[in-house]
Amino acid sequence: MKNAYLTLIAILLATIPMTISCGHMSNRSRNISEGSADDTIICEINSFIAHPDSFVNKEVIITGRCIHVCPHGKRRAFLAAETDSFLLTCESTAYLGGAFPKSIEGHTVTMTGILREMRIDESTLGQIVESHAARKAVLCRNNVLLDTVATPPCPYAKITRNQRDIHSFDEQIENFRNRIQSRFDNTDKDYISIYHLQVSDLKLLD
């Protein structure tokens, strides 16, 4: 069903933790789980793409072009590589007041934060499918079609999941399963990874 895969998007986003911190603390004195300011890595997003797993749970300073700030709360922004084929989701934290300024859209910026990894495996997909079916059943009992309560998908979020041309819930699940199997065949890792940056500081460069 068209747009039904938004249930999956909501679940995935719900699993991404937001940093909860005291606003008066300095960036250097904050407590960073599994990472410290002394280990800060500086890179451009084009070099980050090659080995993102090496940056997980570390403080990084990434330079890239911000192509979009989500209008709903401005809590998410997206950094693009040169080809726009890869986007990194950036989550605003309390250090930024919980929102990105709309003015950074279309500009080159430097963002400082902790890179987090969300792993999707068969168990995760099973939970997503079960939740989707339960929601669909509840709506059906109330004579409501899922299409009528779903909001349009964010095209930028689709790119972060490498699913730019996926247009249905079933296609999304199949795509995830195929990629999980492919990665397992090549690396023995039975999951795929989606990354996001919990941003504590940013600087406009142009």
Domains of the chain: 17-119+191-204 (2.40.50.140), 122-187 (no CATH)
In DSSP terms, 66 is beta-bridged to 79
Measured in whole angstroms, how far is the alpha carbon of residue 78 from the centre of its chain? 9
Each residue's pLDDT tens digit in the chain (206 positions)?
A: 434 444 444 444 443 333 222 232 233 333 333 444 457 899 999 888 888 999 999 999 999 999 999 988 899 999 998 766 789 999 999 998 999 999 999 999 999 999 999 999 999 999 999 998 998 888 888 777 665 555 566 889 888 888 988 888 899 999 999 999 999 999 999 999 999 999 999 999 98
Beta strands (DSSP E) in 28-154 are: 41-44, 59-69, 76-80, 87-92, 108-120
| 0.85 exceeded by pTM | no
What per-residue confidence (pLDDT) applies to 23?
30
Residue 79's closest CA among 62, 65, 100, 91? 65
CA distance 182 to 146: 31
Q: What is the pLDDT of residue 152?
A: 62
The strand pair at 87-92 and 76-80 is best described as antiparallel
Q: What is the pLDDT of residue 202?
A: 94
